[in-house]
Amino acid sequence: MKLIAHLFTGIVLTALVAFASAPAYSQAEIDPDHFELPGAGNAEPAKTARAAPTHYSGKFTLPYAVQCNGKKLSPGRYSVSLSTEGKTGKATLNQRGQVTKLVGTVHKNTKKAGADALLVDHSGKKAILSALRLSELDVVFDPQLQDSSANMSARMETLPLKGSKR
């Protein structure tokens, strides 16, 4: 009888050890601040902050003909509609029903740029519409104009935008 009791106790203890052991947790659950994933150092950081789209409407007057992206803009009154998303700005110029669409690159202004305006470059014999400047950003149409806020030389003229809405 003692032999059966010892055998039964041994089987019960073995079963308890095998099936009722304390659970083990991985390092991620114990100390998540120090858990490293394989290849985690090679991953690029996620870009969650994205520039909000900007919409702009206004009017301006061209006192003379200008060139922009290979298009000739005649003198006269224009309305402008601009939308930006990310690094691309799309402007629609309308003069008496004649629509001109322009695409440019958006540059954020780090300093106060002043009033909203068009930047016209008077280099050579042609006047070139180089950029549209708003208080918080520049939309650059001339690929040779790298930074319109730093490149305000004597050859650049600013034409004011009026009645703007954002």
Segment 144-163 mean pLDDT: 66
Report the alpha-carbon distance of residue 91 to residue 86 in Å, rounded.
14
| Total number of domains constituting the chain | 1
pLDDT recorded at residue 117:
87
Give per-residue pLDDT as tens, 17-61.
777 666 665 555 555 565 565 555 555 555 544 556 678 888 999
Which pLDDT score, from 0 to 100, does residue 59 have?
A: 92
In a domain, 27, yes or no: no
* Position 121 in a domain: yes
Q: Decide: 104 and 141 in contact? Cβ < 8 Å.
A: yes
- Which pLDDT score is estimated for 6? 83
User: What is the structure's pLDDT at 107?
Assistant: 86
* Residue 125 CA neighbour count, 13 Å, CB half: 0
The verdict on residue 83 lying in a domain is yes
Domain presence at residue 38? no
| Structure letter (DSSP) for residue 22 | P
Q: How far apart are CA 93 and CA 71, in angstroms?
A: 12
For the residues of 54-98, what is the DSSP string, one character each? EEEEEEEEESS-EEETTEEE-SEEEEEEEEEETTEEEEEEEETTE
Q: Is 48 part of any domain? A: no
Residue pLDDT, tens place only, 118-134: 888 887 788 888 888 88
Pairing of strands 137-140, 128-133: antiparallel
Question: Looking at the domain assignment, is residue 73 inside a domain?
Answer: yes
Residues paired with residue 118 on neighbouring β-strands, in sequence order = 132, 159
140 found inside a domain: yes
**Residue 103 falls inside a structural domain:** yes
Q: Considering the entire predicted model, what is its pTM?
A: 0.60
Can you give the residue range of the structural domain that contains 111?
Answer: 54-145+153-165
Average pLDDT of the residues in 93-107: 90
* 77 vs 122, higher pLDDT: 77
